[in-house]
Structure 1
Amino acid sequence: MDTQKIKLFLNDVPYRAIWELVWPQTATMLCMIVISLTDIYVGGKINSEVQASIGVSAQLHALFMVLGTSIGAGAMAAVSQSMGAKRFARAKRYSGFVLVYAFCMAVLLAVIGYCFRYFIMEILQVEHRMVETAVTFFTFVLFTLPFQYTHYLSSVLFRATKEVIKPLLIIIVIAFFNIFGDFAFGLGYFGFTAWGGKGIAFSTWLSYALGAVIALIALYRNDIFEKYVIPRFRWMKKATPYLFKVSIPALTMQFLWQLGYLILFAIVAALPDSVSALAGLTAGMRIESILFMPAVAFNATASILIGSTLGAGKKEEAKKIGLAIIFFGTILMSTIGLCMLPFVDTLAGFFSSDADAQWNIRMYVYINIVSTPFTVGGLIVNGIMVGAGATVYALFINPLCIWGIRLPLGIFLAHILGYGSIGVYFAMLLSMSIQATSMFMIFLKANWTRYTLRKI
């Protein structure tokens, strides 16, 4: 690409549209990170057992949220493309359909998970002394699922219509009540009785229940779904195939991806210093989530703009926008990662007083800073594919990298060669670099725009 082409490309990039979508979503991610970090911080103030249990339940929560995020992928593609095509009635019908469907699925998953809660802890090789604590957190996670599905899908629907301020305001309310509850019910601040780990779990349930109710009211007032919510059966029969065409690959990919992370936790749990390693891994992942917070916003922005642009029939413009978001997002996040280097020791000390856990936190964060360009670039390309409805590509690439590279290599380095948890971290780095490179080549070479929603 010569200098003239580069200038034309940069002049065509909708910087303002990208920024207006990125900053509120970055702030939204910040609130979610603050919620997670507060849980970990308050858990660490109680003991390492509670902190490690929060980590295990967080991974289980991510696995059980897979169905919700996959439905969200279908909703984002269908609604954003409908808005781009100015098919507003179709967008409303899809919105009501996914809200009801997601809530019912969340209730079903919660019942199934509760029935097998002890069996799941046994599979994850959770130490006997922390089983009851981990089960308590997991039970509250299950009780929270219907509300979190509702809140998550509501946020997706708002973003699909390019409304990003209201989801930010709602998550601010959730964050306030969650943080207040952690200190009040977990540690006994503000004159409340200290419930320990149960208090942390209860505050999460309470805050998301409130957030879900507020989100539904806001959606109704914004006229994002129709009055009777559920569309007519004749319409659903025609519209459902596309929703499933996007959601099922996303569901399968997310399930295999999150299951892979659970296996990764089991690999770490089988190490001799498992409690400190798990506590360190849990805190390290939370710190990592701070680093990648704007990256998630770029991912969502890519989905919104690509879906809207393809819905309007502008395929070449969609490719140009996608490349711009990849370029600017990767450079920005890599710079932020480098800026975090001097503060890693301070963060490790903040989240744990245990020396072994601090070492694990430092090693995890250092390696993930190196991985930043790959992680961010891959995340943004995945967002592009969601907006285009082309989730089938991630279905093949992402699970292959985690199951074919990360897990076998993690076991080999950690247990066979004896490198422990740092062997797991290096396996994560290698698999992520291969995954991101593969997805970027698909963006450049594959005909991913052909998955755009047809007329219904």
Structure 2
Amino acid sequence: MPPQIDAELERHPYRVIWRLAWPQVLMMLFHFLIGAVDVKVAGLLDSEVQAALGMMTQMLVFFLVVAIAMSNGAVAAISQSSGAGKRLRVRRYAGLCVLAALGLGLTVLAASFPMRGYLMDLLQVRPGMESTTRFFMEVYLLSVPSYYLLTITNAIFRAQKRVMFPLYTMMLITVLNGLGDLGFGLGMFGLPNLGYRGLAWATITAISAGALLNLIQLRRLGLLTAQSFAPFRWIKRAFPYLVRVALPSGMLSAVWNTGYLILFALTSSLPVDSNAARNALAGLTVGNRIEALLFMPAFAFNMTASILVGHYLGAGRPDLARSYGYRVLGIGMACVCLISLLLWQFIDPVTGYFSADIGVQTNAVDYLMWNMLAIPFTLVAMILTGALNGAGATLYTFLVMGGSIWLIRLPLAWILGHQIFSGPRGIWIAMLVSQAAAALAVFWVYMRKDWTRFSLIKQQPGRVPNGTPFRPPQQ
């Protein structure tokens, strides 16, 4: 099948962009609801449970860095192959990605579970929180293989513009997680009251069910059949591109999430009394959850940019790929800034929903004020990095975004938070400054650099960035 340009996309580009984006916005909304219910139920149990949940949720994201990296590789390879009309290659990449998800998830679990004591020490868990934090850590680590399958199979669907399937899966996960939180966390519906343990078990059950549903849907669509598992000689030529895209993306996820863990540690170790530090940490957790309301559409447009850029590069139209990145950015900027202004009008009752503690609410509102000021910068960084990821240019996103975290955010957070302000506000300001720097750098890269050279479907005969000849795998 030859490369084709979507006729409807050409005639009504903004309509099609929105058609791809809105299911992903809803998907992120359900993802937010999962975290919102977790944080709410944790707050009803105890503020220490809420703080422990926030730390362990961030730790889980750190262990998912390889899955996130591989999902970026899957989107780049499958969307470009789909745009080029290579149907068999799409199926083979789908099978390869599923096998990689299962193998990598089990490997991460086997490597990380014996290290849980060391991780507790690294996070500087305060006295009184050790038992709760350790239990969350152990159960969340057991959920890693299911998270890997879920993340990568969702990416396979998105890369082919099948954006409704991840939405259905996230709806199922949200319902199961919410029922589990309320039932086993609070003892509702006649179920045994397991407290914080119920929250952890609800999460792993819901995620496992979602991963299983995705595998069933892939099988039903013909993307997970015997034909999907290619001969080894094909894998030898296909897998390097996944690695080439995934490696910088994985390094970025690692440094990004390590940076957030260090940010939690910097907040936990502020030069204030124990109660104030706990409120700041819980405020950071609550603020992160509310901020996710704004990240939902931003991530949706990030993923939409990846899909369209990959599709047009596969079709041999780098000019359209670049222009659609700008179009997605324009729509995303208008939508998310409007949502931010509306959310700020109700910021007090929203923070009050997540925590009844006045100290936690005050810290959460202060966190949100500085981070909502950063929203325009955050959008530029998120959406354009999505476009670069669709092209396979994850090396650029790693250099820019990783540098903004480790060279700007963390040093500035320590200086402002621990030395100048001696409080959490200094950390929030450091986050704003680092986002502004990242946005400017990503925008310059997108405008001035030849990032189309990283694509699987070469626009012109040539070489890959490391100078070695590149031959895409055949059907």
TM superposition score normalised by structure 2: 0.92
Tell me which amino acid in the other structure corresponds to 1:333.
V
- Cα separation, partners in 2 of 1:224 and 1:11, compared to 1, 3 Å: closer
1:306 aligns with 2:309: yes
Alignment of 1:384 with 2:379, yes or no, is: no
**Separation of aligned partners in 1, 2:394 and 2:24:** 22
Conservation of the 8 A alpha-carbon contact between 2:93 and 2:228 = no
Judge conservation of contact 1:329–1:377 (CA < 8 Å) in 2. no
Match of 1:279 in 2: 282
Aligned position for 1:368: 371
Q: Within 1, Cα distance between the matches of 2:205 and 2:236?
A: 36
Q: Give the aligned partner of residue 357 of structure 1.
A: 360
Measured after TM superposition, the shift of residue 315 of structure 1 is 0.8
Between stretches 34-43 and 226-235, larger displacement belongs to 226-235
- Counterparts of 1:212-291 in structure 2 under 5 Å? 212-227=211-226, 229-271=228-270, 272=272, 273-291=276-294
Using the alignment, how far apart are the partners of 1:321 and 1:259 within structure 2? 32
Q: Give the AA of the match of 2:413.
A: G
Q: Which residue of 1 aligns with 2:113?
A: 114
Give the Å deviation of 1:23: 0.5
Out of 396, 419, 422, the position equivalent to 1:416 is 419
**Contact 2:42/2:53 (8 A) holds in 1:** yes
- Quick one: distance in 1 between partners of 2:11 and 2:222? 33
* Residue equivalent to 2:319: 316
Aligned-partner Cα distance in 2 for 1:204–1:288:
21
Equivalent in 338, 342, 350 of residue 339 of structure 1: 342
> Matched residue pairs, number?
447
> Cα distance 1:12–1:372, how it changes in 2: closer, same or farther (>3 A)?
farther
Distance 2:333 2:395 in 1: 23
**CA drift at 1:226:** 3.4
C-alpha distance in 2, partners of 1:170/1:257? 27
Question: Residues 169 and 213 of structure 2 are in contact (CA less than 8 Å); yes or no, is this contact kept in structure 1?
Answer: yes
Q: Identify unmatched segments of 5+ residues in structure 1.
A: 1-9
Structure 2 counterparts to residues 63-142 of structure 1, below 5 A? 63-142=62-141
Letter in 2 for 1:153: I
SS of the equivalent of 1:128 reads coil
Residue type at the aligned position of 1:400: G
**Partner Cα separation in structure 2 for residue 201 and residue 231 of structure 1:** 38
Of 381, 401, 405, the match for 2:404: 401
Shift of 1:336: 1.1
1:368 shift after superposition: 1.4
1:208-234 Cα shifts (integer Å, max 9, x gaps): 111111110001111123326532110
CA contact (8 A) 1:77 1:386 kept: yes
| CA contact 1:13–1:324 (8 Å) conserved in 2 | no
Alpha-carbon separation, structure 1, partners of 2:42 and 2:176: 17
Inter-partner Cα distance in structure 1 for 2:89 and 2:446: 28
TM-score normalised to structure 1 length: 0.96
Question: Can you give the 5+ residue segments of structure 2 that lack an aligned partner in the other structure?
Answer: 1-8, 458-471
SS in 1 for 2:226: coil
- The residue aligned with 1:41 is 40
Deviations 1:107-141 (A, max 9, x none): 11112221111211111111121011111111111
**Matched residue, 1:5:** none
Amino acid aligned to 1:342 = Q
* 1:401 Cα deviation from its structure 2 partner: 0.8
Partner of 2:469: none
Give the aligned partner of residue 164 of structure 1: 163
State how 1:184-203 maps to structure 2 within 5 Å. 184-203=183-202
Superposition RMSD on alpha carbons, in Å?
1.3
